[in-house]
């Protein structure tokens, strides 16, 4: 079967790999000159089922109100700006902030995330792919006793869903990651997820694209999707600025851009961009930079050591399909990083970047079938697209191939909206 994958971010590239492994003739359409150049370019680097707790949870509305008015807050949105798509998304988001919905959404996200981590490990063992990966776990540090207590409760729930998460004292946390020593007095505790990982999503995407090419996948770079041809309930071609590309099946993996383009096919995908920022700096003192990937709960920031670089990432700005950098927010990333790991690297020379997380109101990705019989979804991965890329790709590739995916796909599709 000929399958056309739309988008060569980490999600589309992983899907293309698994589709080719299932024996299909795969073409990936990508507007950039190479794979992984948009949101998958400089993310936080964490392969983190431990972060499966949805953004929409009972504590978020109050927290968001407290953050309002602070330009450097971890979450910023201007609800008064004319943006009906944001308002519709926010209404659904609030509906998902109940304890019951949070539990359901956690279960769904964790199902994909844990499976995905297994798929990534299997892919690595099979291919030897290397991408500055580290398999040292993720250490989540807390400064606030109340938040730490809440996190311990969430840990128990996640443990019941199959995720190993160990509660640690500050001394134990510093023993796991000695670079935290200088801020130990500010911390109240930590949670360690020993099986989580980190690595450079961009490097991974590029390396996987090379392996996929060797496996017969054709990457049509510098090719922009501009529309679709459709007959009844089937898509017959994707229209691009370089002509039509026909396939037997089509997979939407265009990240935040999936929503506006799927709309052309009459599909209303509740995917809204949440802009995030990162700073990547050269490590100048290895002892002061973390080796274990760290999450700082208070500032909602993550840190991953990528070879001799330190990636620092965070913040969410709900400001539409717009990837302009706001200097104050980029500066906040560097300031927080410098405070947590003083002397670790060249903070003044940090490379700043921002990208649009393709976010759904319930934090669960959109995977699988649509009302169009040959058009499938692999999008809406939000904060966990790198984490969930391999598992989503394999599950969707199996579905397209007429095989039963290894995970239960219930609750992961567009039908839940």
Under rule CB under 6 A, residue 396 binds ligand FAD: no
Distance CA 406, CA 417 (A): 23
Under rule CB under 6 A, residue 112 binds ligand FAD: no
3-state secondary structure (DSSP) of residue 249: strand
Of 121-129, 164-172, 354-362, 402-410: span binding ligand FAD (CB under 6 A): 354-362
Give the residue, chosen from 15, 17, 20, 45, that forms a contact with ligand FAD under the rule CB under 6 A.
45
Q: Which of residues 261-290 bind ligand FAD (CB under 6 A)?
A: 276-278
Give the residue, chosen from 30, 196, 297, 398, that forms a contact with ligand FAD under the rule CB under 6 A.
30
Residues 6 or more apart whose Cβ sits within 8 Å of residue 5:
12, 15, 16, 19, 26, 27, 28, 29, 250, 251, 253
Q: Which is nearer to ligand FAD, 12 or 391 (CB)?
A: 12
Distance CA 302, CA 279 (A): 11
CB contact at 8 A, 166 and 242 = no
Of 10-18, 84-92, 130-138, 142-150: span binding ligand FAD (CB under 6 A): 10-18
Under rule CB under 6 A, residue 255 binds ligand FAD: yes
Under rule CB under 6 A, residue 116 binds ligand FAD: no
Burial class (CB in 10 A: 0-12, 13-18, 19+), 188: middle
- As a dihedral over the C-alpha atoms of residue 383, residue 387, residue 391, residue 393, rounded to 10 degrees, the angle is 70
Under rule CB under 6 A, residue 40 binds ligand FAD: yes
Q: Which is nearer to ligand FAD, 182 or 239 (CB)?
A: 239
Residues contacting ligand FAD: total by CB under 6 A: 41
CB contact at 8 A, 48 and 192 = no
Kindly write out the interface string for residues 200-219 of this chain, putting x where it contacts ligand FAD by CB under 6 A and - elsewhere: --------------------
Instruction: Give the tokens for residue 297.
Output: 């709960």
Give the residue, chosen from 29, 252, 271, 350, that forms a contact with ligand FAD under the rule CB under 6 A.
29
| Spatial CA neighbour of 206 closest among 28, 2, 388, 394 | 28
Please name the residue ranges forming H helices in 161-257: 170-176, 201-214
Give the residue, chosen from 20, 46, 109, 155, that forms a contact with ligand FAD under the rule CB under 6 A.
46
Strands 301-306 and 293-296, sheet pairing: antiparallel
Under rule CB under 6 A, residue 413 binds ligand FAD: no
Q: Which is nearer to ligand FAD, 355 or 405 (CB)?
A: 355
Give the residue, chosen from 3, 4, 7, 377, that forms a contact with ligand FAD under the rule CB under 6 A.
7
Instruction: Give the tokens for residue 281.
Output: 């700096």
Under rule CB under 6 A, residue 257 binds ligand FAD: yes
| Spatial CA neighbour of 359 closest among 379, 386, 343, 331 | 379
Binding site for ligand FAD (CB under 6 A): 7-12, 29-32, 37-40, 43-46, 48, 224-225, 253-255, 257, 276-278, 302, 313, 355, 357-358, 379, 381-387
């Amino acid at each position: 079967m000929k399958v056309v994958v739309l988008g060569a971010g980490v999600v589309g590239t992983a899907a293309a790999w698994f589709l080719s492994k299932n024996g299909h003739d795969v073409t990936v359409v990508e507007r950039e000159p190479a794979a992984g150049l948009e949101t998958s370019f400089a993310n936080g680097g964490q392969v983190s089922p431990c972060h499966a707790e949805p953004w929409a949870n009972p504590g978020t509305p109050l927290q968001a109100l407290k953050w309002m008015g602070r330009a450097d807050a971890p979450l910023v949105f201007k609800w008064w700006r004319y943006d009906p798509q944001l308002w519709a998304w926010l209404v659904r988001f609030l509906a998902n902030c109940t304890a019951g919905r949070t539990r359901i959404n956690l279960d769904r996200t964790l199902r994909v995330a844990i499976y995905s981590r297994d798929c990534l490990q299997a892919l690595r063992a099979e291919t030897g792919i290397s991408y500055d990966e580290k398999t040292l776990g993720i250490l989540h540090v807390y400064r606030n006793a109340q938040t730490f207590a809440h996190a311990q409760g969430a840990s128990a729930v996640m443990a019941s869903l199959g995720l190993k998460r160990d509660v640690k004292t500050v001394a134990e946390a510093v023993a796991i990651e000695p670079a935290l020593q200088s801020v130990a007095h500010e911390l109240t505790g930590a949670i360690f997820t020993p099986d989580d990982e980190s690595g450079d999503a961009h490097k991974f995407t590029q390396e996987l694209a090379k392996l996929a090419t060797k496996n017969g996948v054709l990457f049509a770079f510098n090719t922009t999707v501009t529309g679709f041809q459709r007959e009844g309930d089937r898509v017959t071609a994707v229209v691009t600025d370089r002509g039509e590309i026909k396939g037997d099946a089509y997979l939407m993996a265009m990240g935040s851009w999936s929503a506006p383009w799927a709309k052309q096919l009459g599909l209303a995908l509740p995917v809204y961009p949440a802009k995030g920022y990162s700073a990547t700096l050269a490590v100048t003192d290895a002892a002061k930079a973390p080796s274990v990937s760290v999450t700082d709960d208070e500032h909602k920031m993550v840190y991953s050591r990528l070879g001799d670089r330190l990636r620092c990432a965070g913040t969410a700005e709900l400001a539409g399909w717009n990837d302009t950098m706001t200097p104050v927010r980029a500066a906040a990333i560097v300031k927080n990083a410098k405070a947590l790991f003083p002397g670790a690297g060249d903070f003044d020379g940090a490379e700043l970047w921002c990208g649009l997380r393709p976010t759904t109101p319930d934090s669960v990705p959109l995977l699988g079938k649509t009302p169009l019989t040959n058009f499938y979804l692999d999008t809406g991965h939000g904060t966990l697209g790198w984490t969930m890329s391999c598992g989503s790709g394999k599950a969707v590739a199996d579905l397209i191939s007429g095989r039963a995916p290894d995970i239960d796909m219930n609750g992961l599709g567009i039908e839940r909206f």
